Structure 1
Amino acid sequence: MRLSPGRLLPPWAGTLAAKAAAFITGMCCALAALLGVLVHVSVTHQTVDQARDRALQRLAEVTEDYEAGDTLRRGAGLDPPGLPAPLRKMAAGGERGTMVAEHRGRPTMWAAGPADGGRALAVGIDYSQQARTIDGLDRAILWSSALAIGATLLVGSFAVTRVTRRLHTTARVARRITAGDLDARVGDPRTKDADRPQDEVAAVAAALDSMAASLQGKLLAEQRFTADVAHELRTPLTGLHAAAELLPPGRPTELVRDRVAALRTLTEDLLEISRLDTGRERLDAETEQLGPLAERVVRAAGAAGAGTTEVRVVRDLSVETDRRRLERVLGNLVANAHRHGRAPVVLTVDGPVVTVRDHGDGYPEYLLAHGPQRFRTEGGSKGHGLGLTIALGQAEVLGARLEFANAPDGGAVATLTLPQRP
């Protein structure tokens, strides 16, 4: 059974880089808008105030000329056409004021004050230059804001991408460790140089490397312990087996021989587990016909007291594989089906796919979720021992895929998919 190391994230959707880019863009836009509004308001107020002061000064001069009976200057007049109605009303009420309005297609700064007969004495000053200045300033603010946002986004994205690339590397190594590659390390350069400043990503990488090294050390120690125990048990068990053969016939002798045989089988299984754990097992491949091989496995299982197994060959196939290891895998699956399931047990060959099914209660949930675990029991029931663990390990040596599932109508189903080599 091969467990998925985790769903890989897409390159951008929902990643830190995309969120950081969106955040940087939003902050740049907000800052550019704020600065643009402040500059626009400040310059506009300054420009309008200057134009207003000029218009009021001209109005004062025109008022002096009007009171002195002199001819009014150009651009001044009583109730001139184009004077905004609100400003005319204000002047008729005895107050002075200014206003910008369109006159003859051009922006004009008007200044008006009261005159005899409830009329308005007004002066108009061309406001085109000031309006163009403000418009040019607004365009400059927009362009400079766009350039600043683009430059900041590029620089920010580059900086964030460097961080996210390191995070992706760390996540990739973590997935490799989850998949069983305990030699995988992040090896962040910042963790190797003590004088280099350490950031949070380097701390995470260092912690992951330290965890992997510690886990690898503990697993290696466990593997050595298992191998040492199995080797140490082998010698006394051999002597015990020889001594049991010398006992006189009888029921006690049968019980002793049975228990000694069980201990020898367990010891051999432990030795096999330790060899598989080292990952140094090599194939002795040859061409095998799956149908006859399945028949041999079933006959051997029946001779060992595993019970009757039906063999169905849907489509026979010749494969390049290690016969001994393949027989070990199928034999363990058949034995487990008889030991923990119920009859009928069916072994089906369909091309490179071999299934072993029983009609019992099915595999427990923990086995379906995490794969076989050594000697694990649940709810007081008998555990699955080492048989399925050895089958899974030998299947990996063969390059095959071993999957465990429960049939919809009940029963456990083990599916072995063999690689097809040219």
Structure 2
Amino acid sequence: MRRFALRTGVRWKISIAIAAVGALIAVALSLVVHNAARVSMLENAREVQMERLLFAQRMYESAKPKEPRFGTKLNDPMLPPELGELMRDQRRGTFVQEHGDGGPPDVWAAVPLANGDILSLHIPFADRSAKIMADLDRALIIGSVTVVFGGCALGVLIGGQLSRRLRKAAAAAGKVAQGNTDVRVRNAIGGVVRDETDELARAVDALTDALHERIEAERRVTADIAHELRTPVTGLLTAAELLPPGRPTELVRDRAQAMRTLVEDVLEVARLDGASERAELQEIALGEFVERRVRALNPETVVHVVHESWVNTDPRRLERILGNLLANAAKHGKPPVEVTVEGRVVRVRDHGPGFPEALLREGPSRFRTGASDRAGHGHGLGLTIAAGQARVLGARLTFRNAAPEGAERSGGAIAVLWLPDHAPTNTGSFPMIQFPE
């Protein structure tokens, strides 16, 4: 069962993380400040209330007749039970009485008198204090929102820099994967800050150098072996020509010629891997060229020229690509084989079992012929050479399978050659295009 995956960039992950942490800190600090301020203001209100009550008590005890003043009351029936317990212990005290309706609390103060009466005073929490708390809450909310947005902006800035460096590293690694071993990931990401991205870049560069050295060593060994085999194989062919006519002679000549073809293909692959091949460009009419070459290579192939186009390419290498694609279709596919030219695009299609999944997934590979139903024999060099020659031309060679046409018949294999608008120069680079101002 396929799991759902949410794809997000590093920038937004860092931004969300910083914003979430900032919001949690802002909320926590706001609650602490709000409660501390409220407790402080209530404590101050209780002290003020007790001072007023003590002043009223002195006035009450010195006055004749004795009457409560300044809003005080004797034996108030609404006195909170908590203060009542203090009064029974002959202790004075204050109390903050909350209301369930959400209104401001009442601040109580009570003192026991000598005759056993209780003098008390209570007033609602001051409106001015409530306004101060409202202003404080408003300031805390504004500050919290500012912190969250500021943290988000900081996360976007920091995450954006990290994301850009990672994207540059990925782009450089992609170029290396395409065969451009001169690219260095560390130089591509740039910057003066040294972090884990630089360590990753250095590791990738070291891996690239190691792989390049290994591939180059294998290429040299392969080229040397093929070169050393060329002379004895040529001698073997010459000797085979001197044998008397007969079936054994034909078998020897056939096997010697197959060995010679294999040696030449291996040498060609080694030259293509060395990236030293250069295209010799000519201006040709692509449709006419393909039709003429295909007729010479395989007269039974059906050629369709949908749209003619003039291209600047190397005819010899283009013919080599067409020959290998047609040979692969004839060997592993089924007729009819069709070649279609549309502008700069050339398609070669057969009606066989199609390309193996490994080739579609990883591309052509030497000495690997894929599934037995399509490539049970051969050396896997034909498509490898075609892909290498396409790279020399600056073209792109892709492989896919056609949709099935019926329950018992596959749609076949399709190889598509995309020739570039601007062919590479003799140095292997592409010309600079000047656009009018």
Q: Normalised by the size of structure 2, how large is the TM-score?
A: 0.77
Partner of 2:173: 174
Partner of 2:296: 300
- What is the SS of the residue equivalent to 1:248? coil
Query: What does 1:6-405 align with in structure 2 at a 5 Å threshold?
Result: 14-66=8-60, 69-70=65-66, 72-76=68-72, 98-99=95-96, 109=107, 111=109, 121-122=120-121, 124=123, 127-149=126-148, 152-155=151-154, 157-187=156-186, 199-302=195-298, 308-378=300-370, 380=372, 381-383=376-378, 385-405=380-400
Q: Return the letter of the residue paired with 2:12.
A: A
Bigger mean CA deviation after superposition, 53-62 or 388-397: 53-62
The 1:188–1:87 alpha-carbon spacing in structure 2 relative to 1, beyond 3 Å, is farther
Q: Return the letter of the residue paired with 2:37.
A: V
Deviation per residue, 1:331-366 (Å, 9 max, x gap): 111111111112222223333332222221111111
Partner of 1:407: 402
Contact 1:375-1:384 within 8 A present in 2 as well: yes
Deviation per residue, 1:49-80 (Å, 9 max, x gap): 12112213322442454455345444446799
Partner Cα distance (2:128, 2:294) in 1: 101
Contact 1:336-1:384 within 8 A present in 2 as well: no
Structure 2: stretches of 5+ with no match in the other structure: 1-5, 88-92, 424-437
Contact 1:101-1:110 within 8 A present in 2 as well: no
Contact 2:104-2:124 within 8 A present in 1 as well: no
The 1:257–1:296 alpha-carbon spacing in structure 2 relative to 1, beyond 3 Å, is farther
Count of residues in correspondence between the two structures: 397
Partner of 1:4: none
Contact 2:284-2:312 within 8 A present in 1 as well: yes
RMSD over equivalenced CA pairs, Å: 3.9
The 1:101–1:76 alpha-carbon spacing in structure 2 relative to 1, beyond 3 Å, is farther
Partner Cα distance (2:84, 2:369) in 1: 102
Structure 1: stretches of 5+ with no match in the other structure: 1-9
Partner Cα distance (1:289, 1:59) in 2: 110
- What is the SS of the residue equivalent to 1:187? helix
The 1:158–1:50 alpha-carbon spacing in structure 2 relative to 1, beyond 3 Å, is same
Shift of 1:391: 1.1
Deviation per residue, 1:265-291 (Å, 9 max, x gap): 112212221222122322222232334
- What is the SS of the residue equivalent to 1:360? coil
Partner Cα distance (1:414, 1:190) in 2: 36
Shift of 1:316: 3.6
Q: Return the letter of the residue paired with 2:20.
A: G
Partner of 2:431: none
Deviation per residue, 1:121-176 (Å, 9 max, x gap): 53548834444443444344445545555555555554444443333332222222
Partner Cα distance (1:133, 1:341) in 2: 87
Q: Normalised by the size of structure 1, how large is the TM-score?
A: 0.79
